[in-house]
Structure formats: structure tokens, C-alpha cells
């Protein structure tokens, strides 16, 4: 038995992953999308697609009514929920079944049992699975919780009974912090899950996070697909995962995997799920069960050779498990790194993916929901893609991961690539010594000081700008060539100002001077943001794309540098020899600072005022030595594009 048509109630890389599995199995796929995802990759790949409405998730991907309408309109026989959104919603699963479609996941009743952490812990105890000492009794009053915290001994962990992802969770070091921690956890849990109930656990300090992949068919058959190490986390969100865990010897691996199977059998589990544990030395404790496919499932697929989505669909269609425990074997080592659109502080970001070139080669897999030219919405999870590498052993997999991360080229949105590269390069990661405090312990969440812009990156930026100049009317690039026969390009970077002097050296060749050193530069290729050039006879390659009206993003080596272009002052050409040169606004903006007064004598290059435009500040400087004759706009003034900002009479 199999399905003829399946609807994927999700977006991004997981929707793409399921749609591609459907293609291999001959199943027609149905995508759903919001207004923010009208041109998204998962919509483009599906056999048909249905709109869910506005970009806001509660009005689209979380709107059960609209999803059911899409199921009925499409005639889908089954629904795969992916992960996140409504993937663990028993109410949505029941709505799917009432609409006449099969739910690709555990039964709603099982989801309810394992979805509440308190009930899941009761199930674990019945199955003989170790649990963390704690309190989850019926009396959840603040006073009773405080008494139990004293009994357990500090530090303790306050946790939301419903949900996960670190929401509604507070670590408490002493009794003085306890009451406010409970109140804060309740507020967050109520807002996130509609359930403000909390419980207590003894805080296991500096543990590992190990999870076991299980699959059951609802007929009593349950197998494990071994474990994954998921200890490297940022704010309780996983960053890097691998299989198998480097922390487990054969005996401990057998014990923890058998415990996961016992738990799943006790729950009468059907379909794919993950049993999560905290590992403290040789001791492990049940944490929770995720009743869905996990983000990190590809590492399990690579070390077992099994297609988890294919297994999900077979079980959902009513087939018994096609394999037994003895059929599951480990093959090598796999590591996954999650690529997010976020800045160095971990704050989500959006924008247009100008360049998105993913690593390739033996043992490298990319699960992504984006291509170059796609917009990255800010309304949803910020994950762009997952890089998964596989090799015969862990040292080889670590080396492959480092190489693959260095091969990424992403421009247009900031990403966590620098963080991932720091993790992969760290000696403790190489040795497999990871815990849930890995990033903090090694200071990896602190961004390093900004790297100076390499001279080659400046030359590539200038060459790319001037390569376009003859066909452009842009005053920043074409203007200097046309008027002066030479150009001065000024860039601002974190470490200060960079100037590049440029002259034509011959057909297609430039003479560029940066940092006091001149080079002959020939642009060999410039297109789609990529630039390949010969610098003094040596070929170099990078990428240069606009990052805004006055910004360039330059990728060279493994680093991306943001350069702000400083437009040259515009001289009023209508009155040659005029007594004063008028400096005009290159675009509408606001005068945020006036640095001189009318009548002041200034030297060439003296900053006169600061203009804010497109959320960036630009310094307007004197084009020559002279006297400031006019400052039409004061601080705080709005100025239109082309307006004269200052007039400087030559000395």
C-alpha cells in the first residue's frame, strides 16, 4: 500500500526534503505556502501548491482551518507535518484524519502522552528508564515547588510541562532566585504553549545531550537506529549534531538504545520519533520524546543507509516495519552543521540571497530550502540549510566538515558560518569533548575582533565597480572615470577608511593603488556577483554584491567584509569656475551631525557633516581647501536627494 498524493504541511528545507522523497517514490506532492513564500523553493518543486494566506505563521502555517481546506482542495491522501509548526499537535493530527487523510506520524493519543513532559516521565518510569530526580506532583503551587527545590538541593531547573526548545525553562542557583524564576517560566510557557504549568528537575551540570532515533509500526515492532550526539547548542537550540556519539562505548550504547526502545514500546509508538537523554559520565537520564522527525535526521540516514522519510511513509500507509534490529548497522561517522541566517550575536536576519553556493564533493550532502536569488523571510525559522558530511571514521568526518564549511559562499544575508567554522576548528571538538556548555566554555559565542580587509578584497571590489562603469550612470563609479580620467574610490570598513586610486592601464586592464602599493589588475570574469581577476599576474577569485544603496559585501577566502562606499562630492558643473563648490546629497536622508560653521576655513578632506541615508551614515567632506560659505541644513533636517548640503569657496 502507498499514497498517490501527499501534502507537506511545512516549508523550507524539510518541505523540500519530503517533496524529493515523494518524487523517488512516485507520489504526487502538494505544497502549502504563505504570502512570504510565494516564490519559495518548496513551492517551485511541488507538483501543486496552495496558498495559506498572510505571512504571519498563526494566519498561515499554524492555521489548522486553512490547512484542512488545502487538504480537501488538493485531494491529498496523507499529510507529512515535517518538524516545527504543527508537527506535534494532536489537534492538527485529528483534523487531518477527520479530513480523510492519513497522518504521517504517531497517533494523536500517543502525541498527547509523550508531549507533556510530566506524563512522559511517568511513562519512562514504567518502562524502567532512568529519569532525573525532580518533582512533578499535582501540587504546583509556588510554595510547594520551593519546598521541593530545597529537598532536591540547588541548582535546580524549572521547566514548562508542555513544549520544548528551551522556552519556559529557568536554571536556579539559589533560593533567593527561585520565586521569580518560577513566575518567569510560567509566563513564558503560557505565552508559548497556552499552558503555564511547570515542574522541577535537579540540574545536571555540564551534561551531554544524546538522543536515540526509533521507528515503530504500531504493531509492537520497534527498532532503534542508534544515537546522535547533539550537545553543541546555543540558547537550547542545537547547532552541530553527529552520529554516532563519540562519548559512548559499546556497552553504554546498547544500554541507552535499549532504554529508548523500551520507552517507545511502552508508549505504543508508531512512526519515527526521538527519545532524548542527558548523559552524565556513565549515567543517563530520560529527558523527553520528540514525536516527529528531527532536524538532524540526515546524520542517522548516512550512518545506517536508511531513508527515514521513506520508512515514515511506509508505516503511515499501514505497512509493517520492513526491517528488524539486526538489519540496522552503523557505517562510519556523520556530522551535521546548521546554517542560519543570523548575525554574530545569534539574532535572526532576512534579505535577498545574492549568492548561495553550497559545498560539494564525496561524502557531502546539503539539505536546503533556498537557492541564489531567493528572499529569506524574517517571519520564520532562520535556517537556510544543513550541511551533512559522512566519512569512514570521525577524524575523517571532522576534516571533511572543515573543508566543506570553507567552501560555502553566502552573500546577501549574514550567517553563522563564522561560528560553525570556529566550532569545527576547535581542538575540543576534534577530540569529541563536547557538552551542552561547549560554546560558552570555550568562548565561541563571542565574535572575534573584526578582521582587517585584505588588500586583494579591496582590489576585487574596486575592479568589480569600475568594470561596470562604462555601462553605468552611477555617480560613484562612472562619474570619476568620465570627468577625471581616473578614479578615487573610498570605502569605510570596521578598521577605518580605505582608498583605492584607479587608472586605465590598457584595454580591460586597471592600475589600482591601495595601501600605497600599485597593482595591475585585469578582470577575467564578472557575473552573478562573482569576480575572477588577475592581480599582478596571479589569479584570485571572490564575490562582490551590493549590500544596500551604499554598501558592498565582499567575500574573499573564508571571510565576508562589509564595505560602505563613500560617494565623491558632487561638484556643480553648471557654473565652471564658480566661487563655491556645492556638495549634494547622493540620496534622501537626514543630517545627523554638522561638524563646521559657516565662515570656517577647512582643509581638503575635512569632514563637514554626517548624513544618514538607508540606515547608514555617510560623512560629507570638503573637496578642496577653502571657506565654508553655506550650510543650508541643520542637524535633524530631512534633505531630498540632490540637495546642496554645503558650499565651500576655494582658498
The stretch 298-309 carries a mean pLDDT of 98
Q: Which residues contact 484 (CB under 8 A, 6 or more apart)?
A: none
Rounded to whole angstroms, the Cα distance separating 339 from 405 reads: 10
The stretch 549-568 carries a mean pLDDT of 82
Q: What's the CATH code, domain 133-202?
A: 3.30.1490.20
Q: Which residues contact 155 (CB under 8 A, 6 or more apart)?
A: 171, 172, 173, 174, 203, 205
Q: Is the pLDDT of residue 192 over 90?
A: no
Q: Is the pLDDT of residue 465 over 70?
A: yes
Domain ranges of the chain: 5-104, 133-202, 208-441, 455-566, 581-650
Q: Is the pLDDT of residue 572 over 50?
A: no
For the whole prediction, is pTM greater than 0.85?
no
pLDDT band at 164, cuts 50/70/90? low
Q: Which residues contact 440 (CB under 8 A, 6 or more apart)?
A: none
pLDDT band at 294, cuts 50/70/90? very high
Q: What is the pLDDT of residue 590?
A: 80
581-650 classified as CATH 2.40.50.100: yes
Rounded to whole angstroms, the Cα distance separating 614 from 549 reads: 7
Q: Is the pLDDT of residue 482 over 50?
A: no
Q: Which of 37-41, 194-198, 269-273, 482-486 has the lowest mean pLDDT?
A: 482-486
pLDDT, one tens digit per residue, over 213-251 is 999 998 889 999 999 999 999 988 899 999 999 999 999
Q: Which of 30-34, 85-89, 310-314, 472-476 has the lowest mean pLDDT?
A: 472-476
Q: What is the pLDDT of residue 570?
A: 45
User: Using an 8 Å Cβ cutoff, are 588 and 614 in contact?
Assistant: no
Q: What is the pLDDT of residue 621?
A: 87
CB atoms within 10 A of CB 153: 10
Q: Is the pLDDT of residue 87 over 70?
A: yes
| pLDDT > 70 in the chain, percent | 92
- DSSP-derived 3-state class of residue 393: coil
What are 602's strand-pairing partners? 626
Q: What is the pLDDT of residue 177?
A: 93
CA distances from 140 to 12, 121, 136 (A): 39, 16, 8
Q: What is the pLDDT of residue 473?
A: 37
pLDDT, one tens digit per residue, over 381-400 is 899 999 999 999 999 999 99
Residues known to be catalytic: 292
Rounded to whole angstroms, the Cα distance separating 399 from 395 reads: 6
5-104 classified as CATH 3.40.1130.10: no
The pair phi, psi for residue 346, each rounded to 5°, is 85, 15
Q: Which residue has the higher pLDDT, 622 or 16?
A: 16
pLDDT, one tens digit per residue, over 543-557 is 998 876 678 889 998
Q: Which of 336-345, 356-365, 549-558 has the lowest mean pLDDT?
A: 549-558
Torsion of CA 390, 395, 400, 402, to 10 degrees: 130
CATH for the 455-566 domain, from 3.30.1360.30, 3.40.50.300, 3.30.700.30, 3.40.50.720: 3.30.700.30
Averaged confidence pLDDT in the chain? 89
Name the grid cell of 152.
532536591
CATH for the 208-441 domain, from 3.30.9.80, 3.10.20.340, 3.30.470.20, 3.40.190.10: 3.30.470.20
Q: What is the pLDDT of residue 637?
A: 80
pLDDT band at 573, cuts 50/70/90? very low
The stretch 402-408 carries a mean pLDDT of 95
User: Using an 8 Å Cβ cutoff, are 145 and 182 in contact?
Assistant: yes
pLDDT band at 504, cuts 50/70/90? confident
Tally DSSP H helices, then E strands, for the chain: 17, 37
Q: What is the pLDDT of residue 613?
A: 61
Amino acid at each position: 500500500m502507498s499514497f498517490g498524493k501527499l501534502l507537506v504541511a511545512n516549508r523550507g528545507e524539510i518541505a523540500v526534503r519530503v517533496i524529493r522523497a515523494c518524487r523517488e517514490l512516485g507520489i504526487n506532492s502538494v505544497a502549502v505556502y504563505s504570502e512570504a513564500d510565494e516564490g519559495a523553493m518548496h513551492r517551485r518543486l511541488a507538483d501543486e501548491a496552495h496558498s495559506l494566506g498572510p505571512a504571519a505563521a498563526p494566519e498561515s502555517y499554524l492555521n489548522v482551518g486553512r490547512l484542512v481546506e488545502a487538504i480537501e482542495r488538493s485531494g491529498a491522501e496523507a499529510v507529512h507535518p515535517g518538524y516545527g509548526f504543527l508537527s506535534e499537535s494532536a489537534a492538527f493530527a485529528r483534523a487531518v484524519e477527520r479530513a480523510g487523510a492519513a497522518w504521517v506520524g504517531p497517533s494523536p493519543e500517543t502525541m498527547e502522552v509523550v508531549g507533556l513532559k510530566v506524563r512522559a516521565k511517568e511513562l519512562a518510569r514504567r518502562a524502567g528508564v532512568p529519569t532525573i530526580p525532580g518533582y512533578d506532583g499535582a501540587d504546583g503551587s509556588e510554595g510547594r515547588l520551593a519546598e521541593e527545590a530545597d529537598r532536591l538541593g540547588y541548582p535546580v531547573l524549572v521547566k514548562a510541562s508542555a513544549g520544548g526548545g528551551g522556552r519556559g525553562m529557568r536554571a536556579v542557583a539559589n533560593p533567593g532566585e527561585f520565586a521569580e524564576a518560577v513566575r518567569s517560566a510560567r509566563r513564558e510557557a503560557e505565552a508559548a504553549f497556552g499552558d503555564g504549568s511547570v515542574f522541577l528537575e535537579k540540574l545536571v551540570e555540564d551534561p551531554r545531550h544524546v538522543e536515540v532515533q526509533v521507528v515503530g509500526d504500531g504493531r509492537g515492532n520497534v527498532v532503534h537506529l542508534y544515537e546522535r550526539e547533539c550537545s553543541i547548542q546555543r540558547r537550547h537550540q542545537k547547532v552541530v549534531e553527529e552520529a554516532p556519539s563519540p562519548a559512548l562505548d559499546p556497552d553504554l550504547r546498547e544500554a541507552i538504545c535499549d532504554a529508548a526502545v523500551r520507552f517507545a514500546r511502552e508508549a505504543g509508538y508508531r512512526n519515527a520519533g526521538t527519545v532524548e537523554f542527558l548523559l552524565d559520565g556513565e549515567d543517563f537520564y530520560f529527558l523527553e520524546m520528540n514525536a516527529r522527525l528531527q532536524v538532524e535526521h540526515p546524520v542517522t540516514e548516512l550512518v545506517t543507509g536508511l531513508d527515514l522519510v521513506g520508512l515514515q511513509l511506509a508505516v503511515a500507509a499501514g505497512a509493517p516495519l520492513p526491517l528488524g534490529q539486526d538489519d540496522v548497522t552503523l557505517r562510519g561517522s556523520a556530522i551535521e552543521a546548521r546554517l542560519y541566517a543570523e548575525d554574530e550575536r545569534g539574532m535572526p536576519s532576512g534579505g535577498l540571497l545574492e549568492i548561495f553556493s553550497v559545498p560539494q564533493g564525496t561524502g557531502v550532502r546539503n539539505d536546503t530550502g533556498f537557492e541564489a536569488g531567493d528572499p529569506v523571510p524574517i517571519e520564520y525559522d532562520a535556517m537556510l540549510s544543513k550541511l551533512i558530511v559522512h566519512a569512514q571514521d570521525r577524524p575523517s568526518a571532522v576534516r571533511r566538515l572543515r573543508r566543506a564549511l570553507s567552501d560555502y559562499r553566502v552573500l546577501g544575508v549574514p550567517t553563522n558560518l563564522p561560528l560553525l567554522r570556529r566550532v569545527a576548528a576547535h581542538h575540543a571538538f576534534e577530540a569529541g569533548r563536547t557538552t551542552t556548555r561547549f560554546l560558552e566554555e570555550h568562548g565561541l559565542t563571542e565574535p572575534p575582533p573584526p578582521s582587517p580587509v585584505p588588500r586583494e578584497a579591496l582590489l576585487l571590489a574596486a575592479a568589480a565597480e569600475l568594470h561596470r562603469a562604462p555601462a553605468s550612470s552611477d555617480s560613484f563609479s562612472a562619474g570619476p572615470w568620465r570627468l577625471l580620467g581616473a578614479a578615487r574610490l573610498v570605502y569605510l570598513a570596521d578598521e577605518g577608511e580605505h582608498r583605492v586610486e584607479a587608472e586605465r592601464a590598457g584595454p580591460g586592464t586597471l592600475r589600482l593603488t591601495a595601501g600605497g602599493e600599485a597593482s595591475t589588475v585585469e578582470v577575467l570574469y564578472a557575473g552573478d556577483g562573482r569576480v575572477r581577476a588577475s592581480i599582478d599576474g596571479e589569479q584570485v577569485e571572490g564575490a562582490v554584491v551590493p549590500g544596500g544603496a551604499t554598501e558592498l559585501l565582499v567575500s574573499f577566502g573564508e571571510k565576508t567584509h562589509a564595505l560602505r562606499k563613500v560617494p565623491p562630492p558632487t561638484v556643480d558643473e553648471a557654473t565652471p569656475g564658480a566661487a563655491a563648490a556645492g556638495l549634494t546629497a547622493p540620496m534622501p536622508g537626514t543630517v545627523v551631525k554638522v561638524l563646521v560653521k559657516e565662515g570656517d576655513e577647512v582643509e581638503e578632506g575635512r569632514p563637514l557633516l554626517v548624513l544618514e541615508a538607508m540606515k547608514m551614515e555617510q560623512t560629507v567632506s570638503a573637496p578642496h581647501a577653502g571657506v565654508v560659505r553655506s550650510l543650508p541644513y541643520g542637524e535633524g533636517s530631512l534633505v531630498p536627494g540632490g540637495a546642496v548640503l554645503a558650499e565651500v569657496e576655494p582658498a
